[in-house]
Amino acid sequence: MQVSFACTDHGLKAPRNGEHSKQNATSPNTTSHARARFRTVALIARSLGSFTHRYHHNLKESTAKQTGMKYRNLGKSGLRVSCLGLGEYIYLQLRIQKKIHKHPSVAEQLMTIAYESGVNLFDTAEVYSTGKRSSLVITTKLYWGGNNSPLNLGLKSSLQRMQLEYVDVVFANRTDSNTPMEEIVRAMTHVINQGMAMYWGTSRWSAMEIMEAYSVARQFNLIPPVCEQAEYNFFQREKVETQLPELYHKIGVGVVSWSPLACGIITGKYENGIPESSRAAMKPYQWLREKIMSEDGRKQQAKLKELTHIAEKLGCTLPQLAIAWCLRNEGVSSVLIGSSNPVQLTENLGAIQVIPKITTGIASEVDHLLGNRPHSKKDFHH
């Protein structure tokens, strides 16, 4: 299981556009201040308890005008999250590249940039960095069971490392075929009733499994999930565009999507092969290399080359177009982005400015080039 949290700003002001310069992004003072801000925010959220939601308005008012960040409800729950979240699988990339050991402050730099850009959703899982991480993030990997199970103990350990009493959202990562759904829902309900989490969600669950969890929750007066984490990008559309919308309208389950750049494929850096410094050139990513070099991979690169022309027409980069395109979907509460350096992260965050440019005409042009739009009951183009 993985744990995610939304760090909610309560009246803390973000800088105006351009204020966090490259020097600020890398200075020790900046990362030190970031730690203090995150701790302050977390402690305020902890002490305010049920009054937390009222302060989301402050974050929207103080940050949106300065950074352009937009905030959406997580599904139909009352929790508001930034439409762009920081997916901390970036730490896995950094660790593989051995950058964390040489430059331990890189992670804090990335979190600082994200925070000052209005991001309030930080997604984490212990598997991403084997538990060796800054005190600013939650690190845990939990398993199923009863009230005194590793699920209960594991989350308590995570909270102790974060020095927090609760997280906003705890995700069940993949279902366990050996565990009855009722037991899973009861375990998550127990975690929430014990005050260790406010909500729970699913990750990589099928629509049928999510619906089963909801039905079990209603049958036994338990707490249902509020969102699903799902892969969503130019080349992965079926689940988010055809299956999850039904759940959103019927039971209020929202989407937190991940991999908007398809593990870097959509950046365009693989157009002429596999660069030595790229992720696909590393041994743990042999599967990605094979995918890129396959016939389908070459076809995708050809389509991306055409999509680059659309991005140029809109005055943005291809990654920015891809991320903004994901956010055109009304059922997507937040898109998790990840970068291994400040420059990439700043570029990705710039996708916020591109959202208004994804008109019906542009979306149709993208669909035409991709040629993979799934049959859907609802048109998600704004």
Helix-strand-coil percent breakdown of the chain, rounded to 5?
Answer: 50, 15, 35
Longest pairwise C-alpha distance within the chain: 57
Q: What's the rounded Cα separation, in Å, for the pair 102 and 95?
A: 10
User: Is 91 labeled as catalytic in the residue annotation?
Assistant: no
Q: Are 320 and 348 in contact (CB under 8 A)?
A: yes
Q: Are 204 and 167 in contact (CB under 8 A)?
A: no
Q: What's the rounded Cα separation, in Å, for the pair 154 and 138?
A: 11
Beta bridge partners of 167: 197
Which residue among 128, 166, 214, 232 is the active-site one?
128
CA 133 to chain centre: 18
Q: What's the rounded Cα separation, in Å, for the pair 325 and 347?
A: 15
Beta bridge partners of 227: 254
Q: What's the rounded Cα separation, in Å, for the pair 382 and 379?
A: 8
Provide the 10 A C-beta neighbour count for residue 213. Answer: 26
Which residues are identified as catalytic? 128
